[in-house]
Each structure stands twice: as structure tokens, then as C-alpha cells.
Amino acid sequence: MSAQAPEAAGKIAGGQVEDAPESCAPENPVEQFLRMDRMPHIWCPGCGIGTTVNSFARALLEAGLDLDRVAVVSGIGCSGRVAGYLRLDSFHTTHGRAIPFATGLKLANPGLTVVVYSGDGDLFAIGGNHIIHAARRNVDLKVICINNLVYGMTGGQVAPTTPGGAVTTTTPYGCYEPAFNLPALMDAAGAVYVARWTTYHVRQLTRSMIDVFKKKGFCFIEILSPCPTLYQRKNRMGDGLDAMKYYKEKSKIRHGAPTAEVALSKEGEIIVGKFVDRERPEYLELMRAQLSAQLGERYVETEHLVCS
């Protein structure tokens, strides 16, 4: 294969090559959501982040959202790079602070669908304080957390989700810190929707994403994803495909499972499913109710805070 621009290079269609209906081949449905001028992306072979983007793209399509009014906010890390590849209003903010940025964005324009797409370290270590408060407040954010059990971008350091015994660059003899159970944490903090899937569960993930687009309030989806280059390799767990096979084999779908029971371990069972789906008044509803009750006609309710 000679050096060709990747997008222009060889397409092989299914079927006998001569019969292949290339002329009526549709576009890859995910491409309309991508900044194709930035492909190829930086993620490693077998990394699951790109897989989650497929689910996200299909969810956007099926949910029928006005794409001009979907904004994606990410933090720093491999997962944080998703924002830069999506052809939506997107914001690659600072490490751990996607959620407060997203809070400001959403409160100033409630008409936006604001998705936070980031990683486990970004959201739960440095960002831990922010995510629990946003959940507590029930700010209408759709948080997609790609959990690869490690800090990928910086070379594979321990994360608050790293399972006990796992080797990382900063726990070279095995992790001895207890890990967070993310669904339990989000449940306790007040999230109205809590689900976990893995990158193997592509269809269920799309369904969950559609669920959260339609639901008001703080929604959280954890997606277990392989980090083949760092987590898998350092722990002699094979590559991305090996991780996917592990997910397939060891996942058990238990919708409604008590979140305290869904903790992960290094090689154990993975409980997936939709654990929490409840109703609570969303932040702006609470704010408006309180202020109008107290101020009556003096309260000036606003929607989009746009300056001239």
C-alpha cells in the first residue's frame, strides 16, 4: 500500500468485489459526527474509547436531537480527547474541571444538551469534588465516564478505580488502595440515572445514552474500556481483544442491582446494567421554584443568558 491519505485509501466492500454495490454504499453513520479532518485519532489499537464514540453517534442519530444544540465538554486524558473529534460545539477544558465548566454552560443556556465525556481519573480523582456536587445538585448533565482503570494519557498510573493488586507505573508492586465503586458513589451523591456497561455492550450502551438524552437531571454512565497499551500490558492481561472477551464472558446484566453490590475486581465478575433510574427535581427547577415562591412577581425568570 503506497502512501495515500487514509480516508481515500482502499475500500473493500463485502460480497464479490465485482458485484459490490459500492455506488449505493451509504456513508459510515459515525462520520457525520466526526471532524474527519482530524482523523486518524490518537487512540491505541484495541482501545475502547473509539467504540464508545460509535455508540454515542448512533444514540445521537436515534434520539433525534438537534445537533446544533448538543455540546460536549471533556477534561484531560485519553477519554478527554473525544470532544476534539466530535463535530459538535465541544470544549476540551482543564483536568478534572469539565463538570463545573459544563454546569456554567448548561445553567446559562438550559436549551443545550450538555454531555460531559471524560475518564475515570479526570472525573473521580482530580474531579471528584465536582462530580459529587453536580450529582447532589442534580444539574442536567449527561456524564459519560470511560473507565479504563488507569491514567492512560500520562503513561499508566494508578487511578481511584484501579482494582486491588493491579500493577501500574505508580504502583509497581500492585495497587493496595481500595477502589471506588463508581455507580455506588454516583447513586449516593444523588444521580438520577446510573448505569454501567462495557465497550462490549455496544447496543445496550447506545440505549443508555438515548435514555439519558431524554432524561432530565444528572445522569451517569460508566463504560468499562480496555487500555491495552498500559493496563492490559502491565498486568499481563493480553490486548484489547482479550479485554473485550473478558467483558463478554464475565459480565452479568443485572438491571436495578443495588449499587453497593456492583464493585469491580481485577479479574472477577462485572455487573452491568441500568442500576438507578429515578426522578428528582433538576437544579434549575429547584432554583426557580424556590425563588418564585419567595419573590413572587418580583422574580425574573430567565432561560438563555445571552449578552448583546
Partner 1 sequence: MPKGYVAINVERCKGCGFCVEFCPTHVLAMSSAFNSRGYHPPHVVNPEKCSGCDLCGMFCPDFAIYGWKVSQPSNGAKKDAAR
Partner 2 sequence: MLHADPKGVLTGVHFLDGDHAACEGALAAGARFAAGYPITPSTEVVERFAARIPMVGGIFIQMEDELAASIAIAGAVWAGAKAFTVTSGPGFSLMMEHIGFAAMTETPCVFINVQRGGPSTGLPTLPAQADMMQARWGSHGDYEIIALCPNSPQECFDLTIRAFNLAEEFRVPVMLMMDECVGHMTEKVVIPPAEQIEIYPRRHTRRPPGDYQPFAAGPDLVPEMAHAGEGYRFHITGLTHDERGYPSMTVAAQDRLVKRLKAKITRAAERLACYEQQGVEDADVVVLSYGITSRVAQRAVELARARGAKVGRLRLITVWPFPTAQVRALARHVKAFVVPELNLGQIALEVERAAAGQAAVVQVPHAGGGVHDPEQILDAIMEVLK
> Per-residue x/- marks for partner 1, 82-101, CB under 8 A?
-----x--------------
Angle at alpha carbon of residue 89, lines to 65 and 30, rounded to 5°: 60
**How far, in Å, CA of 57 to CA of 60, rounded?**
5
Does 82 help bind partner 2 (rule: CB under 8 A)? no
Piece of the chain touching partner 1 by CB under 8 A; list 54-62, 69-77, 166-174, 277-285: 54-62
Piece of the chain touching partner 2 by CB under 8 A; list 48-56, 98-106, 195-203, 255-263: 98-106
Does 296 help bind partner 1 (rule: CB under 8 A)? no
> Does residue 148 contact residue 120 with C-beta atoms inside 8 Å?
yes
**How far, in Å, CA of 152 to CA of 154, rounded?**
6
Does 142 help bind partner 2 (rule: CB under 8 A)? no
- Residue whose grid cell is 483536568: 95
39 binds, among partner 1, partner 2, none (CB under 5 to 8 A by kind): partner 1
DSSP state of 286: H
Does 94 help bind partner 2 (rule: CB under 8 A)? yes
The Cβ of residue 50 has, within 10 Å, a number of other Cβ atoms equal to: 17
Q: Please identify, using beta-carbon distances, which residue of 9 and 42 lies nearer to partner 2.
A: 42
Taking CA atoms, 213 is separated from 62, 113, 208, 220, 278, in Å, by 10, 7, 9, 11, 15
> Total residues contacting partner 1 (rule CB under 8 A)?
56
Taking CA atoms, 220 is separated from 27, 136, 146, 170, in Å, by 31, 12, 11, 28
Piece of the chain touching partner 1 by CB under 8 A; list 13-21, 155-163, 175-183, 212-220: 13-21
Does 42 help bind partner 1 (rule: CB under 8 A)? no
Does 293 help bind partner 2 (rule: CB under 8 A)? no
Does 290 help bind partner 1 (rule: CB under 8 A)? no
> Does residue 237 contact residue 219 with C-beta atoms inside 8 Å?
no
> Does residue 220 contact residue 181 with C-beta atoms inside 8 Å?
no
> Per-residue x/- marks for partner 2, 228-267, CB under 8 A?
----------------------------------------
Nearest C-alpha neighbor of 183 from the set 95, 114, 270, 63:
270
Q: How far is the CB of 60 from partner 2 (least distance, A)?
A: 13
**Interface residues with partner 1 (CB under 8 A)?**
1-4, 6-7, 9-16, 20-22, 24-32, 34, 39-41, 43-51, 53-55, 58, 61-62, 87, 199-200, 202-203, 206, 239-241, 244-245
